[in-house]
Structures are given as C-alpha cells and as structure tokens.
C-alpha cells in the first residue's frame, strides 16, 4: 500500500516530464509558473492584510476577548478613516489656502490679538484654553476674511468654506448610509448553522502555524469561539418564568427612568447656578464654580452607566440584547446632557456678548429675540466705532478736503462680538476635556486598579482578585457611546472651528493605542463572552441619528441667523448661504443663474420630493419580497439535502 | 521527494543513510518527529505521527514520513484527507469517534480552558449534529458527510509547506 502511494506521488510530480516529448518543457514551465503565481498570490494577500492598520492588534484582542470587544475597535478604526477624510477636506480646502494666500496675521483687525489681551496671548494657560494667539489663527472661524477671492489663484475663500462645511456633512451621511446598506447585505447572506459545533471542533485548527505566539492566539480564539457558541446554546435552552421576568423588567425600566429624570434635573440646577455666578462676575469664584457644568456632566457620564449596568442584572436578557438596552439607556442619558449643555451654551453666548458693553440693558431671552438682540448689539458697536474714529481725528486740523486716512494699528481697533468663534472654542474645549477625562478614567479606573489588585492581594484580608475590586472588564457600551457622541460634537462644531477634525484625528489615533494597551494589560474577558451581531448596524443606526441631530444646529445657523458683521468669511452678508447666490451671479454665465432660479421653484421641488418618497417605498417593498424568496429557496435546498442523505 | 529525504536525514544524521537502494529498515522515534518546526505547535502532533506509523507505536520509517507529508500537502485529494483526519481524531483507534474521543479533542484544542459542563455540552451538541445513524458515536460516513459541507476544511485543515 505504501509503495503504491509513493508511486502515485512520484507520478504526480513528474507528470509533465513523462508526457509527450514536444510539450515536455513547456508543460514543466507552465507548472512552475502556476506554482510561482499561487505563491505570489498568497504573499500578496498577506501583504494586503498587513497593510490594514492595526489589524494584528485587533485580531489579538478578538482572540482573547471575543468578537464583541473587537467590534468596538473595528468601529473605532472605521471612525478614524472618516475623520481622516474630514480632516483632509478642512485642512486642504480651508486652512491651507487661508494660511498661504490670505492676508497675514496682524494686517486686519479680525486677525490680530486685541491690545488688551496682548500681554497674556502667548501664555500656555491661554493657549490651552484656546484663546489668545490660538483664537486669532486659522483654527477658528473668526480669522477668515470675507474677501471674495484671495491670492493669485483667485481662490474663492468664502465659497470654499461654505461648501466644505456642507460637504463634510453630506459625505458623512453618505458613508454612514452606505456602510449600513453593505452590512445589511452581509447579514442576509450565509446563515448555515448546521454542524456549527462539529465544524468548530474539527476544522478550526490551522495546521500551518509554526510560531508559538500565533499558536497562543489561536488557542485563545478557539476557546473564545467555543464559549460564544456555548452561550448561544444555553440562551436558546433557557426556560423562563414569564410573569416574574416581566415584573422584573418593568421594575428595571422604572428605575432607569428615575435615574434619567434625576440626572436631567441635576444638570438643569447646575446650569442655573452657573448663570447666577456669571451674572455676579466669574472672577469671584474658584476653579470648581467656573467649570461646574463640565465637571458635573462628566461625572454623571461616569457613574450613571454603572448604575444602569446594575439595574440590567434584574432583567435577565441574552447578553447581546442586554447590551442594546444598556446602549439605549446611556444614549438617552447623554442626549439629555447634550440638550441642557446646548441651552447653557446659548445663554453663554449672550452673556459674553453683553458683558462687553456696560450699558446693555436688555434682558436675556432665548429664541426669536436673539436676532433682534444681535442687531441691537451690532448697532451699538458700529455707533461706538464711529465715535472712536471721530476721536482719532480730534487731534488733527480738519480740512475741507477729505482727510488722509489715519493709520491705526489693527490691535487697537474695537471689535464686534464674534459668536461663531466663541461657539467653536466651546466645542474645542469640550472635546479636549472629554479626551482628558477618558484617558484619566482609563489610567485610574483600569490601570491603577489592576496594579492595586495585583500587588496588594498578598497582604489583604479577602481575595482581591475574585472579590470586590478585581480586574475590570472592558466597558463596551460606555466606550461606543463615548465615541459616537464625540463624533457628534465634531460634526456640530467643525463649521465654526476648522481645526476640530484635526484634533479628533489626533485623539482617535492616541486613543486606539492607549485602549489596545489597556485592554490587553488591565482587563479580563467577560464571564459570558458573546458573539457580536454579525453586522454593526446597531452602532451605525445610533451614529446616523446623532449625525442628524448634530447637523440641525449648524443648518439652522446657516439659514436663519445673520453672521457676525466683524469676523469670518461671511461677514457683511445678511445670511450665510448668500455666498452661493453671489457666486452664481459673478462666476457663472447668466443663463446658469436663470436655470437655477427655475429649478429652485417650489413647484418643481415638491413633486420631486414626492417622487423620491414613492421610489423609497417601492424599493423597500421589492427588497422585502426578495428576502422572502431567498429564505424559501434556502429551506428547499436544505430539505433536498436532507432527503439525499436519508437515501 | 529529495527535499523530504533531506529533512528526514537532518533529523538524525547518524542513523539515516543517504543511500536507499538497498532498502534498509530504519525508523525514527516519535520524539524526534514531534520536534519538527511544522509540527511543534500542533496540538495533535502525537496523533498525526501515530496514525501514519505502520507499527502503531509512533516510529516512522521514511515511507511513512513521505506518506505523512503527502497527505498534509495541498495536492492530496479530499477523500484522502478526510480518511486521515478521521484517524487522527480517533484517539482510541476503534474506528469510531466516540464521546471520549471528542472530549480529548476538545481538551487539546482549548488547552483545557473549558469547564467540565461546557465540555459535555459541546460533545453532546457535536454528536447531535453529526450522528446520522443514531448510534451515539461518529462513524466514518457521518464524519465524511459533515466534513464535506465545511467551507474551511480544505483551507485550514490540512495544508503544509515544506
């Protein structure tokens, strides 16, 4: 038997050479080329996999912690990609042209640090707070000049700023929806779960492994995969006492609602207090009072999710469903916080603007009065400026002919309020403080805790590793939501502060490394490792919702609020989107403007919207019917296979 | 084949002759073979060597050595691989994969990280899924039927490069 096998091997190897004389060499050559090509293909596949950033790290985490934890890191990597593109857009089309071709620092009042602040402009504390020098630079909205074209390229700066702002939002929508669609496709695909355990047992070992570290990872991933399958099996076998479970779930939901209401009230209370402080002048209070709102929001964000976690242990759901409930509740918590924060922000804009002028006597109102108030403030500033200019002429002898223009240093010119820059600054400060909080939480909550448990275990009364503190598990829901809300901040603020995507890219990059290290070093896998749902569509749906919410304020300001008259690329216009009509007038031939005018007629737009809604409905209906047909075919295939087997 | 001979030779240069024309009777013990770099990390290395060895003890003659690598290579046909896979996973060599064989396989795969009840659960599930004739253990027909439907078998199962 062994001889025949050896002969078979020999014949296979030298088949080409044993063939007909003429084709011999060519056949051998062909065989060699095929082998080389296969080897090249394999190497290229390896290279492509190695090129995906952080792939090895994520695979390692997946093998030790399961696919749900790894799904967070995959999500983080995907976000990083999006932010890189947003960064490319804002940096390349907005910041670089202004820096290279716009008027330099110090040439215009809006580009110069005012005389009063000059002394502290370069201090680190001021820069960390993003005022001083940082405020009067390409990083923020206020620096940009409203000249229609700049430089020898005739680069249309205001148009570019507007289009980049709109384009970032449009691109984000597109890519989120495209990813959702792609995930939905994959979901309906292979659902073959017969022989699940058998395949795991007999075919999961990769016989090509020769490296002990890879072998370690492979063992861990096999174990994790078995554990995940076991959890699925146990869940499907579980028997429940329906009435008790329902009662407990209702109770848990009630407790969660109480927590949400409590946190909302607390924020409201703190915001009112901070307004009271502001009225009395912020200099009288220490650091805590000044940053009270931020600190309270961060602390709430830290402790409430743990509370939700405890509550959810009452509910006894499948771990994946429990994760979704947890995500939903924390989402509601953060939304409430965000909403109250925005209210606080609107109040603060009014506060800063009005504190500049001692003789403002109007009360602060929200909403419709804002417009009125802004106009009033601007009138006052313009009045102030004419008085100030007149005072400059006081010294010289007024002549009948026009006096020569007096050179004034831009630093001395009084400024109007620039609410866009203030808004941008607030967003940047919030992002930075959020980042700091996250990192410090990781370092203290995970790392120090692990160090404490590891080293103090020997001299402590009870077993630290199994008992109270023990090592922490990776908090998937908190981290995912933190990521999503952070992205919401970026989308909201990048119109007012073009530097935000850059800051976020930096933050995501460092966060990836820090969290990968922290997970492998300080965390232990959860007790019940469960398989993440095959698509990330749940995260995507939340992201889409946040994207929609965060574009609302920006769109509202573009359409309804007049831009500051003194700063930014849209100064002097009544509405920001007028830059489009201006471009149409000047840069395009006249017939284009006419066509556009006809096309934007409501009579055309409404039927178009109706058509789109109808086509969405039609596509939805056809896709449902395809899915059903697919399932039917699969069932038929399965029954045919089973029949063949029995025969 | 020459390369294989080279590898076989370098494992025990003083024992293995370079010249096979006289068909000498040389066998290498299991310990040496297990330490080959291709097999070192494999949890089933002992079983692999045992199932190719003629005397069942684990010592491989050069013929057995060549057989082993030929089956493990990419070019071996699927049925052959399935036959040898069955032999490898059949720890007590009774031509059936029974529950204890499954338990041993599982322990080797997970390096004994699973608890006893998890192990019993998995073994029960495997028998439930793959046992078609209802005898409580997997015969070769059951095994082949299950393996033939597996998408990953050919890719990860038995490839090797020399």
Inform me whether the C-beta atom of residue A195 falls under 8 Å from chain B C-beta atoms.
yes
| 3-state per-residue secondary structure call for B39-75 | CCCCCCHHHHHHHHCCCCCCCEEHHHHHHHHHHHCCC
The conformation of residue B28, written as its DSSP 8-state character, comes to E
Identify whether residues A469 and A540 lie together within a single domain. Answer: yes
Identify whether residues A88 and A229 lie together within a single domain. Answer: yes
Report CA torsion sign: A335, A337, A343, A344.
negative
The conformation of residue B18, written as its DSSP 8-state character, comes to S
Cα A545 to the chain's mean position, in Å?
12
Identify whether residues A521 and A613 lie together within a single domain. Answer: no
Phi/psi at B20 (nearest 5 deg)? -105, 10
Identify whether residues A89 and A154 lie together within a single domain. Answer: yes
pLDDT digits (tens, 9 = 90+) for A263-299: 878 877 877 777 777 777 766 677 777 777 777 777 8
Model confidence band, residue A619 (pLDDT cutoffs 50, 70, 90): very high
Identify whether residues A562 and A628 lie together within a single domain. Answer: no
Query: CB–CB of A199 and B150 under 8 A?
Result: yes
State the helix-helix crossing angle for A157-187 and A476-493, rounded to 10 degrees. Answer: 150
Q: Is A362 inside any structural domain? A: no
Tokens representing residue A515 in the block: 């969290």
CATH 3.40.30.10 applies to domain B76-161: no
pLDDT at residue A395 in the model = 46
pLDDT at residue B2 in the model = 67
Q: A386 vs A609, which has greater pLDDT? A: A609
Average pLDDT over residues A550-572: 79
Inform me whether the C-beta atom of residue A212 falls under 8 Å from chain B C-beta atoms.
yes
Distance CA A225, CA A202 (A): 13
Identify whether residues A161 and A20 lie together within a single domain. Answer: no
pLDDT at residue A394 in the model = 57
Same fold, B1-71 and B76-161: yes
Most B CBs within 10 Å, among A2, A201, A218, A529, to test the B interface = A201
Phi/psi at A131 (nearest 5 deg)? -120, -170
Inform me whether the C-beta atom of residue A207 falls under 8 Å from chain B C-beta atoms.
yes
Burial (0-12, 13-18, 19+ Cβ within 10 Å), A90: buried
Q: How many degrees, rounded to 5, is the angle at CA A391 between CA A390 and CA A395?
A: 110
Cβ–Cβ under 8 Å, residues A113 and A136 = yes
Query: CB–CB of A202 and B147 under 8 A?
Result: yes
Q: Is A308 inside any structural domain? A: no
Q: Is A9 inside any structural domain? A: yes
Identify whether residues A38 and A128 lie together within a single domain. Answer: no
Most A CBs within 10 Å, among B110, B128, B150, to test the A interface = B110
Q: Nearest CA to CA, how far is A231 from chain B (Å)?
A: 10
Rg from Cα positions in chain A:
32
Interface ipTM: 0.73
Cβ–Cβ under 8 Å, residues B107 and B43 = no
Identify whether residues A437 and A495 lie together within a single domain. Answer: yes
Cβ–Cβ under 8 Å, residues B100 and B91 = yes
Question: Which of A142-156, A204-218, A404-418, A454-468 has the largest mean confidence?
Answer: A142-156
Model confidence band, residue A527 (pLDDT cutoffs 50, 70, 90): low
Distance CA B110, CA A220 (A): 7
Number of structural domains found in chain A:
3
Distance CA B20, CA B8 (A): 12
Q: Which residues of chain B have a CB within 8 Å of the CB of A46? A: none
Tokens representing residue A272 in the block: 């009112």
pLDDT at residue A83 in the model = 93
Inform me whether the C-beta atom of residue A17 falls under 8 Å from chain B C-beta atoms.
no
Cβ–Cβ under 8 Å, residues A496 and A427 = yes
Q: Which residues of chain B have a CB within 8 Å of the CB of A203? A: 147, 150, 152-153, 156-157
Neighbours of A572 (CB within 10 A): 14
pLDDT digits (tens, 9 = 90+) for A103-123: 777 777 777 777 777 777 777
Q: Is A562 inside any structural domain? A: yes
Inform me whether the C-beta atom of residue A204 falls under 8 Å from chain B C-beta atoms.
yes
Give the chain A residue nearest B88 (alpha carbons).
Answer: A202
Query: CB–CB of B72 and A214 under 8 A?
Result: no
Q: A140 vs A416, which has greater pLDDT? A: A140
Distance CA A332, CA A347 (A): 23
Burial (0-12, 13-18, 19+ Cβ within 10 Å), A318: middle
Q: Is A357 inside any structural domain? A: no
Q: Give the contacts of A442 (CB within 8 A, at least 6 positions apart).
A: A514, A515, A518
Q: Given the structure tokens 């080293």, which residue do they identify?
A: A455
Identify whether residues A157 and A231 lie together within a single domain. Answer: yes
Inform me whether the C-beta atom of residue A7 falls under 8 Å from chain B C-beta atoms.
no
Q: Give the contacts of A49 (CB within 8 A, at least 6 positions apart).
A: A55
Is residue B60 helix, strand or coil?
strand
Cβ–Cβ under 8 Å, residues B110 and A219 = yes
pLDDT at residue A507 in the model = 93
Inform me whether the C-beta atom of residue A456 falls under 8 Å from chain B C-beta atoms.
no
Is residue B61 helix, strand or coil?
strand
Query: CB–CB of B43 and A214 under 8 A?
Result: no
Q: Which residues of chain A have a CB within 8 Å of the CB of B114? A: 223, 226-227
Q: Is A203 inside any structural domain? A: yes
Of A10, A198, A207, the CB nearest to B157: A207
Is residue A346 helix, strand or coil?
helix
Q: Nearest CA to CA, how far is B147 from chain A (Å)?
A: 8
Q: Which residues of chain B have a CB within 8 Å of the CB of A645? A: 132, 145
Identify whether residues A539 and A638 lie together within a single domain. Answer: no
Of B63, B114, B126, the CB nearest to A223: B114
Most B CBs within 10 Å, among A207, A214, A227, A228, to test the B interface = A207
Query: CB–CB of A2 and B109 under 8 A?
Result: no
**Whether pLDDT at A615 is above 90:** yes
Inform me whether the C-beta atom of residue A6 falls under 8 Å from chain B C-beta atoms.
yes
Distance CA B52, CA B61 (A): 10
Most B CBs within 10 Å, among A66, A203, A204, to test the B interface = A203
Q: Which of A22-26, A36-40, A98-102, A186-190 has the lowest mean pLDDT?
A: A186-190
Model confidence band, residue A592 (pLDDT cutoffs 50, 70, 90): confident
Q: Which residues of chain A have a CB within 8 Å of the CB of B153? A: 202-203
pLDDT digits (tens, 9 = 90+) for B96-108: 878 888 888 888 7
Query: CB–CB of B160 and A209 under 8 A?
Result: no
Buried b vs exposed e over A156-190: b needs ≥16 C-beta within 10 Å?
bbbbbbbbbbbebbeebeeebeebbeebeeeeeee
Q: Nearest CA to CA, how far is A47 from chain B (Å)?
A: 19
CA-wise closest residue to A112 among A90, A145, A79: A145
The conformation of residue A122, written as its DSSP 8-state character, comes to T
The conformation of residue B154, written as its DSSP 8-state character, comes to I
pTM for this structure? Answer: 0.71
Of A201, A207, A233, the CB nearest to B109: A201
Distance CA A354, CA A360 (A): 6
CA distances from residue A174 to A53, A169, A181, A185, A539 in whole angstroms, order as listed: 23, 9, 11, 17, 16
Q: Which residues pair with B97 in a beta bridge?
A: B138
pLDDT at residue A234 in the model = 78
Give the chain B residue nearest A646 (alpha carbons).
Answer: B132
Inform me whether the C-beta atom of residue A232 falls under 8 Å from chain B C-beta atoms.
no
Q: Give the contacts of B28 (CB within 8 A, at least 6 positions apart).
A: B8, B11, B12, B15, B16, B59, B60, B61, B65
Inform me whether the C-beta atom of residue A47 falls under 8 Å from chain B C-beta atoms.
no
| Containing structural domain, residue A510 | 77-236+418-569
CATH 1.10.565.10 applies to domain B1-71: no
Query: CB–CB of A208 and B160 under 8 A?
Result: yes
Q: Which helix (H) or strand (E) holds B40?
A: none
| 3-state per-residue secondary structure call for A513-576 | HHHHHHHHHHCECCCCCCCCCCCCHHHHHHHHHHHHHHHHHHHHHHHHCCCCCCCCCCCCCCCC
Cα A521 to the chain's mean position, in Å?
26
Q: What is the maximum span of chain A, computed from C-alpha positions, in angstroms?
A: 122
Domain boundary among A548, A569, A590: A569
Burial (0-12, 13-18, 19+ Cβ within 10 Å), B73: middle
Query: CB–CB of B129 and A201 under 8 A?
Result: no
Domain ranges of chain B: 1-71, 76-161
Q: Which region holds residue A304: left if phi is over 0, alpha if psi is between -120 and 50, else beta?
A: alpha
pLDDT digits (tens, 9 = 90+) for A57-73: 888 887 778 777 888 88
Model confidence band, residue B160 (pLDDT cutoffs 50, 70, 90): very low
Average pLDDT over residues A301-318: 81
Q: Where are the beta strands (DSSP E) in A345-485?
A: none
Counting one residue from A and one from B, how many pairs have CB atoms under 8 Å apart? 116
Cα A388 to the chain's mean position, in Å?
46
Q: Nearest CA to CA, how far is B25 from chain A (Å)?
A: 14
Q: In sequence order, which ranges of A157-316 are alpha helices (DSSP H)?
A: 157-187, 196-203, 212-237, 242-279, 287-290, 292-312
Q: Is A248 inside any structural domain? A: no
Q: Nearest CA to CA, how far is B156 from chain A (Å)?
A: 5
Q: Nearest CA to CA, how far is B32 from chain A (Å)?
A: 16
Distance CA A507, CA A439 (A): 10
Distance CA A534, CA A192 (A): 13
Identify whether residues A565 and A619 lie together within a single domain. Answer: no
pLDDT at residue A381 in the model = 64
Cβ–Cβ under 8 Å, residues A428 and A493 = yes
Q: Which residues pair with B60 in a beta bridge?
A: B28
Give the chain A residue nearest B155 (alpha carbons).
Answer: A206
Report CA torsion sign: A358, A359, A361, A365.
negative
Most B CBs within 10 Å, among A202, A215, A224, to test the B interface = A202
Mean pLDDT of chain A: 76
């Amino acid at each position: 038997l062994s001889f025949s096998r050896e002969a078979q091997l020999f014949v296979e190897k030298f088949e080409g050479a044993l063939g007909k004389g003429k084709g011999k060499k060519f056949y051998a050559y062909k065989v060699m080329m095929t082998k080389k090509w296969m080897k090249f293909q394999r190497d290229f596949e390896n290279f492509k996999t190695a090129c995906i950033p952080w792939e090895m790290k994520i695979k390692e985490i997946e093998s030790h912690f399961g696919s749900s934890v790894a799904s967070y890191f995959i999500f983080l990597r995907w976000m990083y990609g999006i932010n890189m593109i947003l960064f490319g857009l804002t940096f390349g089309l907005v910041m670089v042209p202004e820096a290279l071709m716009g008027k330099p620092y110090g040439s215009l009042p809006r580009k110069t640090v005012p005389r009063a602040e000059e002394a502290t402009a370069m201090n680190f504390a001021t820069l960390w707070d993003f005022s001083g020098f940082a405020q009067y630079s390409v990083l923020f909205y206020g620096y940009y000049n409203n000249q229609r074209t700049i430089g020898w390229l005739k680069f249309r700066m205001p148009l570019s700023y507007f289009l980049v702002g709109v384009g970032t939002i449009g691109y984000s929508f597109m890519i989120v929806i495209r990813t959702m669609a792609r995930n939905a496709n994959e979901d309906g695909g292979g659902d073959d779960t017969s022989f699940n355990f058998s395949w795991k047992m007999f075919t999961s070992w990769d016989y090509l492994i020769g490296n002990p570290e890879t072998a370690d990872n492979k063992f861990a991933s096999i174990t994790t995969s078995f554990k995940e399958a076991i959890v699925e099996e146990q869940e499907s076998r579980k028997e429940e006492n329906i009435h008790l479970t329902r009662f407990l779930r209702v109770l848990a939901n009630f407790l969660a609602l109480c927590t949400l209401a409590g946190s909302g009230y607390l924020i409201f209370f703190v915001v009112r207090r901070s307004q009271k402080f502001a009225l009395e002048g912020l200099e009288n209070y220490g650091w805590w009072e000044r940053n009270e709102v931020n600190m309270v929001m961060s602390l709430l964000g830290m402790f409430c999710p743990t509370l939700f976690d405890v509550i959810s242990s009452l509910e006894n759901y499948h771990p994946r469903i429990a994760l979704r409930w947890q995500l939903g509740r924390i989402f509601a918590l953060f939304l409430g916080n965000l909403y109250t924060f925005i209210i606080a922000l609107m109040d603060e804009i009014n506060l800063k603007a009005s504190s500049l002028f001692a003789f403002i006597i109007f009360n602060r109102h929200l909403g419709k009065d804002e417009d009125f108030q802004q106009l009033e403030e601007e009138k006052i500033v313009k009045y102030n400026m004419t008085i100030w200019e007149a005072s400059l002429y006081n010294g010289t002898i007024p002549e009948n002919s026009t006096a020569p223009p007096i050179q004034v240093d831009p630093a001395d010119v009084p400024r109007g309020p620039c609410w866009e820059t203030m808004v941008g600054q607030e967003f940047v400060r919030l992002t930075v403080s959020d980042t700091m909080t996250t990192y410090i939480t990781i370092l203290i909550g995970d790392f120090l805790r692990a160090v404490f448990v590891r080293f103090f275990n020997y001299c402590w009364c009870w077993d630290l590793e199994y008992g109270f503190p023990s090592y922490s598990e990776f908090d998937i829901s908190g981290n995912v939501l933190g990521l999503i809300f952070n992205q919401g901040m970026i989308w909201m603020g990048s119109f007012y502060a073009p530097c935000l995507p850059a800051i976020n890219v930096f933050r995501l990059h460092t966060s990836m490394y820090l969290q990968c290290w922290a997970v492998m070093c300080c965390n232990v896998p959860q007790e019940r490792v469960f398989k993440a749902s095959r698509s990330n569509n749940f995260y995507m749906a939340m992201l889409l919702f946040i994207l929609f919410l965060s574009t609302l304020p920006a769109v509202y300001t573009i359409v309804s609020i007049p831009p500051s008259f003194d700063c930014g690329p849209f100064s002097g216009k009544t509405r920001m989107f007028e830059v489009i009509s201006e471009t149409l007038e000047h840069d395009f031939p006249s017939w284009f403007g006419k066509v556009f005018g006809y096309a934007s007629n409501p009579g055309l737009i409404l039927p178009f919207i109706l058509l789109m809604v109808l086509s969405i409905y039609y596509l939805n209906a056809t896709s449902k019917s395809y899915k059903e047909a697919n399932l039917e075919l699969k069932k038929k295939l399965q029954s045919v296979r089973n029949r063949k087997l029995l025969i | 084949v020459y390369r294989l001979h080279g590898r076989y030779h370098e494992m025990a240069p003083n024992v293995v002759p370079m010249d096979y024309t006289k068909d000498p009777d040389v066998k290498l013990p299991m310990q040496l073979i297990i330490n080959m770099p291709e097999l070192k990390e494999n949890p089933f290395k002992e079983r692999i060597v045992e199932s190719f060895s003629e005397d069942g003890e684990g010592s491989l003659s050069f013929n057995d050595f060549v057989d082993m690598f030929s089956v493990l290579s990419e070019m071996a046909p699927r049925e052959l691989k399935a036959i040898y896979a069955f032999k490898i996973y059949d720890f007590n060599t009774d031509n059936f994969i029974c529950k204890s064989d499954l338990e041993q396989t599982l322990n080797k795969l997970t390096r004994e990280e699973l608890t006893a009840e998890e192990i019993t659960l998995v073994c029960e599930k495997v028998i439930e899924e793959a046992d078609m004739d209802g005898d409580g253990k997997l015969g070769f027909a059951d095994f082949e039927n299950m393996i033939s439907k597996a998408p990953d078998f050919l890719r990860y199962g038995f490839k090797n490069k020399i």
